[in-house]
Structure 1
Amino acid sequence: MKLKKIIPLIFIAFAVGFTLQIIIQQNETIETKIERKIKIQDNTLQKLIHYEIKNNIIYAFYTNTVYNTSSGLGLSVIENNKGMSTHIIGAIELDSKKGLTYEISESKQLNLNVVYGSINNSEIKTIQINGHDCNIVNATDLTFWYYISENPMQSTLIEAKDQTGKVIINETF
């Protein structure tokens, strides 16, 4: 007899808990949703530092740990749909003796190509990839840059320039 009374109460408790969870998730900020989705696939995430939404894809840049020891810059792309499918595209160390780090990340599945990295040389003010200006983001703890392309990059010329336009770094990869 007591069991028949307890079962409906347990069911009601589960229903209320499930409903509260849905309400909480619907009220999350986009930043919180992005961090939650990335943490499922990359437990080294430290902090989301920038994101851009382009063609229904969220490009999320975050600090993380690379090779279990070094501070890094991670890149995830998240499909901006109900399921928010998340893809870890790359991670790169922040420090470089050149004054600049870079990585090319491609996804044929999502038809995207991203070149990105950190800037360690304060003289670098602009970066171009194959003549196209890159986005430069000054976050609290670091400065990084990125370029998003829908076209594959067969040969990539990277130029980092100072305030006057003088080329400081010129590399092809």
Structure 2
Amino acid sequence: MNCVKVSVALSIMLLFLIGCSDKQISFEERFEQQIQNASSESIIHYEVKSNYVYVFYTDHEMLRYQAFKMSGSTIEWVDGSGGSDIKKGGFSASNNPDIPFSFSYFTSNNPDVKQVLVHGQETKYIRVNDTISFWVAFTETPFERGDFVALSFEGDEVDLVIYE
């Protein structure tokens, strides 16, 4: 009988120790594991829309994103493409049919740009530091190349990108 008690006690202790030794990783670390070329230093912003998380990161002077669908404690990659040049400006967009909205983001090398409108609606401005800033839009209407306008501080239409 004592042998059974000792065996049960050792089994419980072993399960407890195994359970305590499992390393819990954060959501940020889970995103890092799924994004090739990204590290905690290169991930610069998260944007949450419904049960989707858009992870923005830098990769060789490019601003890139990956989108994940959150379901309980699981994350599933659903989208990610292209990029926008941080210094030269540009944009990237996605009209993924598996996601219930369209997504676009913009960088600019034009110091006169204050705001970007998509389908006539203001975008969200994100300033990471002195060299990285961008605008993000989530829309119900699919995004096409001519669907955005860059505005100056005075409200005049200006070029998003100055080509040299």
Give the TM-score normalised by the residue count of structure 2. Answer: 0.74
1:111 aligns with 2:104: no
1:149 aligns with 2:144: no
1:101 aligns with 2:90: yes
- Considering only aligned residues, what root-mean-square deviation do their CA atoms show, in Å? 2.9
The number of equivalent residue pairs is: 149
CA separation of 1:72 and 1:16: change in aligned 2, threshold 3 A: farther
CA separation of 1:134 and 1:48: change in aligned 2, threshold 3 A: same
Displacement of 1:155: 6.0
> Conserved in 1, the CA contact under 8 Å of 2:110 and 2:160?
no
Displacement of 1:114: 0.8
After superposition, where does 1:4-43 map in structure 2 within 5 Å? 16-21=17-22, 24-25=24-25, 28=26, 33=27, 35-43=28-36
After superposition, where does 1:158-173 map in structure 2 within 5 Å? 158-169=148-159
Report the counterpart of residue 91 of structure 1 in structure 2: 82
Superimposed CA distance per residue, residues 54-105 of structure 1 (whole angstroms, 9 cap, x where no aligned partner) = 2121122121x2xxxx321111222222211123412313232xxx311111
Q: Give the letter for the 2:155 counterpart.
A: G
Superimposed CA distance per residue, residues 23-76 of structure 1 (whole angstroms, 9 cap, x where no aligned partner) = x33xx3xxxx1x42333333211422222222121122121x2xxxx3211112
Q: Give the letter for the 1:44 counterpart.
A: N
Report the counterpart of residue 53 of structure 2 in structure 1: 58
Give the TM-score normalised by the residue count of structure 1. Answer: 0.70
SS of alignment partner, residue 63 of structure 2:
strand
> Conserved in 2, the CA contact under 8 Å of 1:130 and 1:156?
no
> Conserved in 2, the CA contact under 8 Å of 1:89 and 1:106?
no
CA separation of 1:101 and 1:14: change in aligned 2, threshold 3 A: farther
Q: Distance in 2 between matches of 1:148 and 1:80?
A: 17
1:73 aligns with 2:63: yes
Runs of 4+ in 1 over 6 A off after TM superposition: 12-15
Q: Give the letter for the 2:102 counterpart.
A: N
CA separation of 1:19 and 1:114: change in aligned 2, threshold 3 A: same
Q: Please, which runs of 5 or more residues in structure 2 have no aligned partner?
A: 1-9
Q: Please, which runs of 5 or more residues in structure 1 have no aligned partner?
A: 1-8
